[in-house]
């Protein structure tokens, strides 16, 4: 009886999982993992560079075409190649300038600006998606680490049981099969720990995609605070309003692309207008026997005539309008998708939170009390060893289920934070 009480006294603190273990040395936490991934992420940097390129190109596209300078000789006689032989021989210098077609230059700049805006919004969406994906991967590693901690804590309990049975066998209070039975339960628990070790390594490998070798170091298994997100969730009823996702960067990027296509429609309409050009030239002549050598100046205005519109301007205008319509429909589809996925994440988080409360308030305590009662009955020879092991395994599974519910809940929160476009650099440490 003294050995059982000693075992219970040592194991009781370890079998309570209402709170998570506080790290006693510096560990990488979720906030640090997201920051590290952001610093190493090439996709966001590439998206920002592409947006910068679009912004620079927008300025260039809004400018007039460069003027053209021409320098040459006109009407040079080929029999003498003399400049003072024929009165029409000239040394010519000129400049020509193409004017934008209607308001096409300004519209091209506007289209480029919207393209850059879509790029910047897309980069913001990439950053949010990165924080979500890193959060999901990190929480998966933390979950497996926490499960291993629970199994290791219960393994110590099982070792105490094997030692207790070995002492009872030595005093002929039990038969050898009971010792073997407890040793088998301990071996099965060791196999379970080995399997979880494999899952930990697999999850670390997934996380290393974003944070490299840091995924294989010490990780803090404590879930994040995310108080703002949890407070927001507590005030929601299903379905959540569509306005919750209307300001999402992915939607902003889609809206900017629609605006760029609208500018394309306006550009296609400008193609029905003629494009003008101005040409000025100055010809210098030498005196000849037949001329006093007066210089010539010429000014020319040119313009095209968009007469054959059916297979050119009309088709391009129709194509631009079709692309604008497609962009509007794609934006609507994206809104519906984000709204549906946010509702799904909210529903999942609310369900998981209720289940977590049930485990905290009832199931954990019941499972532990049952295991303790059966163990005490075994110590007093009123319960068999099989019941003791079964009750302890039920308690272990209850603890693991509670832990998994917690991590599932925070994974749902990670998805909600993405849909709500919560900046991970601001809200990650909210208490």
Domain ranges of the chain: 2-64+102-272+310-427, 67-98+273-308
Report how far residue 122's alpha carbon sits from residue 252's, in angstroms, rounded to the nearest whole number. 8
Average the pLDDT over 202-217 and give the result: 94
Whether the pLDDT of residue 22 is over 60: the answer is no
- Please tell me what DSSP assigns to residue 77: -
Tokens encoding 154: 């219960």
Give the residue-averaged pLDDT of 333-343. 96
Q: How far apart are CA 74 and CA 93, in angstroms?
A: 10
Cross-strand partners of 90: 74
Q: Report CA 44 to chain centroid distance, whole Å.
A: 9
Q: Is pLDDT of 28 > 70?
A: yes
In DSSP terms, which residues pair with 92 in a beta bridge?
72, 283
Residues 217 and 28: beta-carbon distance below 8 Å: yes
Give the separation between CA 367 and CA 281, rounded to whole angstroms.
98
Task: Check residue 429 and report its DSSP letter.
Answer: T
Higher pLDDT, 418 or 176: 418
Name the pLDDT band for 24 (thresholds 50, 70, 90): very low
Q: Counting runs of H as helices and runs of E as strands, what totals does the chain give?
A: 12, 4
Supply the pLDDT for residue 195: 95
Query: Does a cis peptide bond (omega within 30 degrees of 0) precede residue 381?
Result: no
Q: Are strands 276-284 and 296-303 parallel, antiparallel or unpaired?
A: antiparallel
Region 2-64+102-272+310-427: CATH code: 1.20.1600.10
Q: Is the pLDDT of residue 408 over 80?
A: yes
Q: What is the pLDDT of residue 168?
A: 63
Q: What is the mean pLDDT of the chain?
A: 86
pLDDT of residue 156: 82
Residue 6: pLDDT over 90: no
Which residues, 6 or more positions from 249, have their beta carbon under 8 angstroms from its beta carbon?
Answer: 121, 122, 124, 125, 128, 421
Helix axes 30-40, 104-170, angle to 10 degrees: 140
- Count the Cβ atoms, other than its own, within 10 Å of residue 42: 8
Q: What is the mean pLDDT of residues 109-133?
A: 95
Q: Which of 257, 232, 29 is nearest to 141 (CA)?
A: 29
pLDDT attached to residue 16: 35
Give the CA count within 13 Å in the CB-facing half-sphere of 104: 17
Residue 221 has pLDDT above 70, yes or no: yes
- Residue 321, Cβ neighbours under 10 Å: how many? 16
3-state secondary structure of 279: strand
Query: What DSSP string runs through 376-401?
Result: HHHHTTSS-HHHHHHHHHHHHHHHHH
* Mean pLDDT confidence for 61-68: 91
Q: Find how far residue 341's CA is from the centre of its chain.
A: 15
Give 298's strand partners.
281
Q: Which two tokens stand for residue 158?
A: 């099982």
The whole-number average pLDDT for the span 71-99 is 86
- What is the side-by-side strand order in the sheet with 90-98? 68-74, 90-98, 276-284, 296-303
List pLDDT tens digits, range 342-389.
999 999 999 999 999 999 999 999 998 998 888 888 778 777 778 888
**Tens-digit pLDDT profile for residues 155-208:** 887 777 777 667 766 666 556 777 787 788 788 888 999 999 999 999 999 999
Which pLDDT score is estimated for 377? Answer: 86
How high is the pLDDT of residue 116?
96
Flag whether pLDDT at 3 surpasses 90: no
Query: What is the four-CA torsion angle of 227, 230, 235, 241, rounded to 10 degrees?
Result: 110
**Length of the chain counted residue by residue:** 431
Are 233 and 108 in contact by the 8 Å Cβ rule? The answer is: no
Q: Which of 109, 103, 111, 112 is nearest to 273 (CA)?
A: 103
What is the per-residue pLDDT for 307? Answer: 82
114 neighbors 263 (Cβ within 8 angstroms): yes
Instruction: Choose the weakest-confidence range: 53-57, 257-261, 283-287.
Output: 283-287
pLDDT at residue 172, rounded to an integer:
63
> Could you give the 3-state DSSP secondary structure of residue 169?
helix
In angstroms, the CA 80 to CA 89 distance is: 12
């Amino acid at each position: 009886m003294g050995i059982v009480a000693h075992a219970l006294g040592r194991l009781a603190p370890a079998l309570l999982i209402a709170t998570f273990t506080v790290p006693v040395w510096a560990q990488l936490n979720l906030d640090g993992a997201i920051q590290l991934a952001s610093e190493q992420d090439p996709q966001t940097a590439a998206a920002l560079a592409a947006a910068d390129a679009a912004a620079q190109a927008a300025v260039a596209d809004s400018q007039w075409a460069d003027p053209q300078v021409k320098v040459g000789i006109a009407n040079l006689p080929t029999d003498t190649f003399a400049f003072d032989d024929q009165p029409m021989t000239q040394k010519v210098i000129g400049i020509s300038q193409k004017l934008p077609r209607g308001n096409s230059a300004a519209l091209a700049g506007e289209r480029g600006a919207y393209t850059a805006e879509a790029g910047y919004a897309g980069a913001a969406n990439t950053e949010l998606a990165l924080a979500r994906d890193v959060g999901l991967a990190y929480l998966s590693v933390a979950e497996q680490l926490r499960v291993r901690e629970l199994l290791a804590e219960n393994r110590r309990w099982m070792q105490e049981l094997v030692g207790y049975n070995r002492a009872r066998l030595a005093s002929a209070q039990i038969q050898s099969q009971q010792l073997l039975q407890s040793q088998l339960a301990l071996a099965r628990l060791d196999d379970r720990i080995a399997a979880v070790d494999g899952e930990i390594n697999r999850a670390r490998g997934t996380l290393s995609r974003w944070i490299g070798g840091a995924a294989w170091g010490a990780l803090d298994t404590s879930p994040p605070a995310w108080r703002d997100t949890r407070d927001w969730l507590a005030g929601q009823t299903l379905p959540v309003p569509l306005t919750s996702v209307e300001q999402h960067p992915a939607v902003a990027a889609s809206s900017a692309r629609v605006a760029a296509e609208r500018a394309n429609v306006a550009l296609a309409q400008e193609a029905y207008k003629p494009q003008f050009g101005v040409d000025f030239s100055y010809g210098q002549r030498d005196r000849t026997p037949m001329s006093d050598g007066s210089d010539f100046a010429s000014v020319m205005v040119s313009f095209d005539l968009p007469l054959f519109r059916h297979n050119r301007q009309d088709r391009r205008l129709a194509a631009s309008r079709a692309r604008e319509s497609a962009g509007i429909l794609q934006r609507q589809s994206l809104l519906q998708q984000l709204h549906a996925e946010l509702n799904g994440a909210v529903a999942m988080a609310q369900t998981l939170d209720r289940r977590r409360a049930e485990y905290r308030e009832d199931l954990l305590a019941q499972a532990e009390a049952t295991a303790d009662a059966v163990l005490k009955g075994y110590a007093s020879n009123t319960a068999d060893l099989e019941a003791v092991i079964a009750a302890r395994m039920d308690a272990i599974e209850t603890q693991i289920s509670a832990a998994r519910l917690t991590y599932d809940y925070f994974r749902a929160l990670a998805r909600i934070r993405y849909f709500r476009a919560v900046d991970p650099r601001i809200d990650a440490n909210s208490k």
